[in-house]
Amino acid sequence: MSNRERESFDCIILGSGPAGYTAAIYLARAERKHILFTGLKPGGQLISTNKVENYPGFPNGVSGYKLMAAFKAQSERFGTKVKDNSVVKINFNIIKNLHEVILDNYLKLKTKALIIATGASPRYLKIENENNLIGKGISTCANCDGFFFKGKKVAVIGGGDKAAEESIYLSNLCKKVYIIIRDKKMKASKIMQKKVLNIKNVEIFYAHKVIKLIGVKKLKAIVCKNIKHNNNSLFKVAAMFLAIGQIPNSMICKPTLKLDKYGYIITKYTITNIPGIFAAGDVQDSRYRQAITSAGSGCMSAIEVEKYLQEKAD
């Protein structure tokens, strides 16, 4: 980084999903000195989404990768500096109304305001043998890994929109797709449910829970318990794709910022319990978790930052 970038910023943005880039666009247009650090996964979870059909402005849908590339390009056009670094530590209030972030290259930067838009990570089952088989048949991204299981039988775990989307994508590659759902019904949107139900090589098993993973060097089968009838079934599959929710990436905020019992940052209008610290996107949203709501909260956070900086300057 240049010496100029070592100076204090008006705002630093952590995260490069819809929330982070939207916040950057608004801060850039307000001519606030800011910088965005992408973190370990530039583009966030959306980068691995095969097709986004519910984001306004794209009547034929758009790939998550292209959508996030457009977000990045737009923010950079207005002057946002985007750096491929991660923040490993936040020192809150090192001086009155001034915070410090420490990067993975040990560089320390000071800022008047900070927007935490670090998103969330996929949730795992946390059962025996799972860690051993991650990358060996267990995946959280069908778009990334589905090709490796072309013509084979696979399972998708979950009943929401993410699970439906993964199943639709995999149905075009794989011989058979089993959807394993713990509940008695799908939580996916009606249109996604209709799409899934009309695919011949997709079969849904409700009230089923994965209890055992079979395989050593690679996944060979999964054992599911029928919660309703209390019996077990064996599914011989080459892969299992997890779509069972997410865990907010808020560890870096502990113990200073207030979190709810699930680890989401508690906010009011994106404002946290620490003056000058704001949160946007999935790291503070346990309810909606959509690209458009993340972008909306990114906008809100930037407006709140501008208001905060103006009040401090008066």
CB 154 within 8 A of CB 176: yes
**d(Cα 213, Cα 140) in Å, to the nearest integer?**
16
Give dist(CA 22, CA 163) in Å, integer.
Answer: 27
169: its two tokens: 């994508």
C-alpha 105/C-alpha 86 separation (Å) is: 9
**Of residues 10, 11, 104, 144, which has the active-site annotation?**
144
Tokens of 202: 């997709």
Rounded Cα distance, 16 and 244, in Å: 23
Q: How many C-beta atoms lie closer than 10 Å to residue 189's C-beta?
A: 13
Query: Choosing from 10, 11, 141, 174, which is the catalytic residue?
Result: 141
Measured CA to CA in angstroms, residue 37 lies from 53, 72, 114, 121 at distances of 27, 12, 11, 17
Please confirm, yes or no, whether 11 is among the known catalytic residues: no
* Positive or negative: CA dihedral 202, 203, 207, 212: negative
Is residue 84 annotated as a catalytic residue, yes or no?
Answer: no
Output DSSP code: residue 101: E
Dihedral sign of CA atoms 37, 41, 46, 51 in order? positive
Q: Which of 145, 161, 282, 285 is catalytic?
A: 145
Secondary structure of 229-267 in HEC code, one letter for each residue: CCEEEEECCCEEEECCCEEECCHHHCCCCCECCCCCECC
Q: Is 224 a catalytic site residue?
A: no
Q: Where are the beta strands (DSSP E) in the chain?
A: 9-14, 34-37, 81-83, 87-95, 98-103, 108-116, 120-122, 138-139, 153-157, 176-180, 202-205, 208-215, 219-226, 231-235, 239-242, 246-248, 277-279
Q: Which residues are catalytic?
A: 141, 144-145
